Amino acid sequence: MKKGIKFVASIHFKIALVFTLTLLVTLELIGAFFIKQLERSNLSNFRQQITLPAYVSDQLTQQLTGSETASSNANIHNVLSSVNNVLITEIEVVDTQGIIRGTSDINDQDAVGQKTTDSNLRHAANNQTYLKNPVEQHGSSRYQTVVKPLIETTNGDNTTVGAVIVKANLESVYATLQRISVIYLSATLLAVMLGVIMAVIISRALAKPISDINQRTIRIAAGDYSGDIDVRSHDEIGQLATNVNALAQRIEETTNSQELERRRLDSVLEHMTDGVIATDRRGSINLINSAALAMIGIEDVSEVLGQYVLQILHLNEQYQLREFFENDDNLFLDFSDDDRQLKVKVYNTQIQRESGFISGMVIVLHDVTEEQRINEERRQFVSNVSHELRTPLTSVKSYIDALQDGAMNDQEVAPHFLKVAQDETTRMIHMINDLLELSRMDSGTMRLTLEYVNLSELFNYILNRFDMIISNEQQPDQKQYSIVRDVTDESIWVEIDPSKLTQVIDNIMNNAIKYSPDGGVITTRMVKEERQVVLSISDQGLGIPQKDLNHVFDRFFRVDKARSRAQGGTGLGLAISKEIVESFKGKIWVTSQEGQGSTFNIALPYTIEGNLDDDWEDDDFDEMG
């Protein structure tokens, strides 16, 4: 059904229908005009054929003027009988009284002498208005009648003496017209059939390029720009096809250019570290990149598209949309939770047309978490450095002032004051050196001399040094401690800078010694795992509170600040150790329970190459130390 309706509505059908209807109407009009003209012509010729000759009319006029009615009637009958015209059905003559004086119909001779019932014939006999050639219907037959007054001319005067009517059957004429009409109708039907065929052919020829253009435009609308229309002519349709081909090419170029720009924009947005959100003028989100989704903690983009932007940013209770648009102050949002720290700065700008109409806005979310952390660390660093330097400087100044005020002459007090000033100065020098080393690490200018080292021998060598220190410092007034080793004898080769790793282990061992109680045991281990080797140093000190474990490697951090400062620490050793270990692609961490000591662990990747030379000698380590 739909297919039939679609065909009827097609231009192919319409062209054929218009052509066929035009041909049919034209042939009908021509046929009607032709048949009508043919009928008129045939009737005119027929009337001429049945018109009485002039001599017959003269004879009839002469007989009507005779005084002897019976003789005149007989003569009129003879005259009428002498007329030899097969087309004439009946001839009837009447006088001015309307009396029938003669008739050619043998079967109607009784009507002679009677008044005629034909009023038109009486009017003609009495010189009144009459119809000359009326067509009469008798039963199922039509008759052509010709009425003519009979006029006598005497001395130039015309006198109507009667009238004659000639009747002839028209069925032969109309039969001929019927046959001609049938022939014309047959020809018309044949012409219409041929016209329909021609209309179909012509409509196909006309509709085919239009259909091709239509299909081409449908493909263009669907995004398919391949294939040109075959231009078969140079008329208006051919020009249209050419223009459609050119239009398709321009649209394809424009679309490709826009698609390229869109992909570039998508790529830029997708790889931006800043979050980007675009909205319409009502604040509904219509574009958001991955960075923005990650910042607001949503994975599926469909959850935010079409949503109110202030609700997504949790600002709907603080701002109306217009207020948010017009806000020029720095706006910071905190998306921090238990799993992450995230603070962002919000920038927004309106999308405005040349007419001034605001069609939307773009919001940029800039992650300032690291920036604020660095600023906070910088402020904390400055504060720590100031504090760490102020304390020994104050102490030095106080002792120097005391010496200047007279303590210099006191032989018991002066040496002690000078030693304190010297110790504080040495501590500040160590702190400055540590700060310089950290600065080189931060700037990437620290030089590492990497080489493959047998870690087992290096670790044992460092521990041997500490054992030697213990044996040389066995004094009753000094802290007593011992070192327990659990180190594998297997050769494990790592790529490190030996002097830097020695510095790390020395720092951890010194801390273990400082914070271990008298008689404490320091346990050292080296365990080989699947992909790394782990060094661990455990003490029996006071341990580290759980809340401080994540800050142990921060710069200037001390668990017990007073005790650490009293023991001469700078608070930078573990921070330096962490930087060094990470430069070896390793990892350092601490585990501790408050009151039960701490364990520092160092994990380093090792190589499976077993053909490296092992040339460690004590002298070499002495030079590095």
Q: Is the pLDDT of residue 517 over 70?
A: yes
Q: Closest by alpha carbon to 592, among 535, 552, 621?
A: 552
Q: Give the tokens for residue 437.
A: 């080393």
Give the 3-state secondary structure of residue 557.
Answer: coil
Q: Is the pLDDT of residue 283 over 60?
A: yes
Q: Determine the average pLDDT of the residues in 576-588.
A: 88
Q: Is the pLDDT of residue 150 over 60?
A: yes
Residue-wise pLDDT tens digits, 174-185: 888 888 888 888
Q: Is the pLDDT of residue 569 over 70?
A: no
Confidence of residue 342 (pLDDT cuts 50, 70, 90): confident
Q: Which residues, in sequence order, are CB contacts of 420 under 8 Å at separation 6+?
A: 395, 396, 399
Q: Give the tokens for residue 425.
A: 């100065």
Q: Determine the average pLDDT of the residues in 34-52.
A: 86
pLDDT above 90 covers what percent of the chain?
6
**Cβ atoms within 10 Å of 523's Cβ, excluding its own:** 17
Q: Closest by alpha carbon to 544, among 594, 500, 509?
A: 594
Q: Is the pLDDT of residue 354 over 90?
A: no
Residue-wise pLDDT tens digits, 228-259: 777 777 777 788 888 888 888 888 888 888 88
Asked whether the CA dihedral 588, 589, 595, 596 is positive or negative, the reply is negative
Confidence of residue 624 (pLDDT cuts 50, 70, 90): very low
Give the 3-state secondary structure of residue 233.
Answer: coil
Q: Is the pLDDT of residue 171 over 50?
A: yes
Q: Determine the average pLDDT of the residues in 460-475.
A: 78
Q: How many CA atoms lie within 13 A of 401 on its CB side?
A: 6
Q: Determine the average pLDDT of the residues in 289-301.
A: 85
The predicted pLDDT at position 533 comes to: 92
Q: Is the pLDDT of residue 341 over 60?
A: yes
Q: What's the whole-model pTM score?
A: 0.46
Strand partners, 278: 287, 362
**328 or 64: which leads in pLDDT:** 64
**CA end-to-end span of the chain, whole Å?**
100
**Cβ atoms within 10 Å of 76's Cβ, excluding its own:** 26
Q: Is the pLDDT of residue 612 over 60?
A: no
DSSP, residue by residue, 386-409? HHHHHHHHHHHHHHHHHHHTTGGG
Confidence of residue 478 (pLDDT cuts 50, 70, 90): low
Which of these ranges, 209-213, 492-496, 589-593, has the smallest mean pLDDT?
209-213
Contact of 368 with 345, CB cutoff 8 Å: yes
Asked whether the CA dihedral 29, 34, 37, 42 is positive or negative, the reply is negative
Q: Is the pLDDT of residue 227 over 50?
A: yes
The predicted pLDDT at position 618 comes to: 47
CA–CA gap between residue 424 and residue 416 (Å, rounded): 12
The predicted pLDDT at position 169 comes to: 87
Q: Which residue has the tokens 């309307």?
A: 98
CA–CA gap between residue 465 and residue 506 (Å, rounded): 10
The predicted pLDDT at position 561 comes to: 52
**359 or 568: which leads in pLDDT:** 359
CA–CA gap between residue 315 and residue 297 (Å, rounded): 16
CA–CA gap between residue 412 and residue 442 (Å, rounded): 46
- Round the average pLDDT of the chain to a whole number and report it: 81
> Residues 283, 287, 290, CA angle at the centre, nearest 5°?
125
Q: Determine the average pLDDT of the residues in 140-149.
A: 87
The predicted pLDDT at position 58 comes to: 85
Task: Name the burial class of residue 516, with classes exposed (0-12), middle (13-18) and buried (19+) by CB atoms within 10 angstroms of its CB.
Answer: buried
Q: Is the pLDDT of residue 495 over 60?
A: yes
Q: Determine the average pLDDT of the residues in 118-124.
A: 86
Confidence of residue 596 (pLDDT cuts 50, 70, 90): confident
The predicted pLDDT at position 1 comes to: 47
Contact of 64 with 93, CB cutoff 8 Å: yes
Q: Closest by alpha carbon to 542, among 523, 516, 510, 574?
A: 516
Confidence of residue 379 (pLDDT cuts 50, 70, 90): confident
CA–CA gap between residue 109 and residue 207 (Å, rounded): 75
The predicted pLDDT at position 589 comes to: 92
Confidence of residue 562 (pLDDT cuts 50, 70, 90): very low
Q: Is the pLDDT of residue 134 over 50?
A: yes
Q: How many CA atoms lie within 13 A of 316 on its CB side?
A: 10
CA–CA gap between residue 446 and residue 29 (Å, rounded): 110
CA–CA gap between residue 285 and residue 310 (Å, rounded): 10
Q: How many CA atoms lie within 13 A of 124 on its CB side?
A: 25
The predicted pLDDT at position 623 comes to: 44
The predicted pLDDT at position 525 comes to: 93
Residue-wise pLDDT tens digits, 523-557: 999 998 888 999 999 998 888 888 888 888 887 77
Contact of 161 with 152, CB cutoff 8 Å: yes
Q: Is the pLDDT of residue 472 over 80?
A: no
Residue-wise pLDDT tens digits, 305-322: 888 888 888 888 888 888
Helix or strand (DSSP H, E) at 485: strand 481-487
Q: What is the dihedral of CA 62, 63, 66, 70, to 10 degrees?
A: 180
Q: Which residues, in sequence order, are CB contacts of 601 under 8 Å at separation 6+?
A: 534, 535, 536, 588, 589, 590, 591
Residue-wise pLDDT tens digits, 66-96: 778 888 888 888 888 888 888 888 888 888 8
CA–CA gap between residue 135 and residue 381 (Å, rounded): 133
Contact of 209 with 241, CB cutoff 8 Å: yes
Largest CA distance in the chain: 207
Q: How many CA atoms lie within 13 A of 113 on its CB side?
A: 8
Contact of 460 with 492, CB cutoff 8 Å: no
The predicted pLDDT at position 384 comes to: 66
Find how far residue 478's CA is from the centre of its chain.
Answer: 80
The predicted pLDDT at position 196 comes to: 83
Confidence of residue 122 (pLDDT cuts 50, 70, 90): confident
